Amino acid sequence: MPKESLQQKRKRVRKIIARLKKAYPDARLELNFSNPLELLIALILAARTRDELVNAITPGLFRRYRTAADWANEKPAVLHRLLRSINFYRNKTRAIQKATRALMEKFGGQVPNRLEDLLTLPGVGRKTANILLGNAFDQPAIGVDTHVARVSQRLGLTDHTDPDEIEADLTQIVPKKDQVKFVHLFQWHGRRICIPQVPDCPHCPVNDLCPYPKKTKAKM
Ligand code: SF4
């Protein structure tokens, strides 16, 4: 594909979004939550863990721990027992308790709704902060996870590998009103068709909009 201008890339990304919306009408964040604190906890638990595993334990946890103080004041050994089906549960217990203590100390126990504030929480990086802003606070934000990064690279929407630089590239070309949906669509596409090892290009709804040089071919 010849070098595209920013305008051309914006036009192509709009087409990609429209196609993926049709292909994945149910695309959404796959973690279950009902308030910003629950989403923060779910995101910490979901690091390098399948969302289904997190969703399997969060209903009981969210009934038991309703405030930042509930989480911060719990004995770590109790949380270890409740979280043991999740990998790295000891580290994640520590991360949850550090983050919820910071919420109590700096934000009155509430999850803040500004990027700069979220980034002050221990263990909260730009990906988590942007996913929180987009999904718990309905603000335009692009949280770059492994799927968003890979699919964006293959589709030629970024040349970068660093998530912060990918986010900056995408923020320039994805319309604000579509940014949260864009992340959901790319996550779904990256889990179903544009998978890591061998993408299923013959069945890809954006095949003709994708310059990926190693595309898989349809079998004759
Ligand atoms: S054509 Fe292949 S590489 Fe390109 S987005 Fe679709 S599945 Fe991914």
CA-angle at 113, arms to 129 and 122, nearest 5°? 45
Sorted by sequence, the CB contacts under 8 Å of residue 83 that are 6+ apart come out as 45, 57, 89, 92, 93
The pLDDT of residue 195: 97
Which atom of ligand 1 sits closest to the CA of residue 216?
2
The pLDDT of residue 66: 98
Q: How far is the CA of 154 from the centre of ligand 1 (A)?
A: 7
Catalytic residues: 127, 145
Supply φ then ψ for residue 23, to 5 degrees. -70, -35
- Atom 4 of ligand 1: nearest residue by CA position: 210
Pairwise CA distance, residues 212 & 54, whole Å = 33
Pairwise CA distance, residues 168 & 161, whole Å = 12
The pLDDT of residue 3: 83
* Residue 210 CB less than 6 A away from ligand 1: yes
SS3 206: coil
The pLDDT of residue 217: 87
* Residue 31 CB less than 6 A away from ligand 1: no
DSSP of 28-69:
--SS--SSHHHHHHHHHHTTTS-HHHHHHHHHHHHHH--SHH
Q: What is the CA radius of gyration of the chain?
A: 19
Q: By the 8 A CB rule, do 189 and 24 touch?
A: yes
Boundaries of CATH 1.10.1670.10 in the chain? 6-28+142-209
Which residues of the chain have a pLDDT value below 50?
Answer: none
Boundaries of CATH 1.10.340.30 in the chain? 36-136
Pairwise CA distance, residues 94 & 75, whole Å = 11
Which atom of ligand 1 sits closest to the CA of residue 214?
3
Top-level class of domain 36-136 = mainly alpha
Q: Which pTM value belongs to this model?
A: 0.93
- The CATH T-level fold of domain 6-28+142-209 is Endonuclease Iii, domain 2 (1.10.1670)
Q: What is the pLDDT of residues 142-168, one digit of tens each?
A: 999 999 999 999 999 999 999 999 999
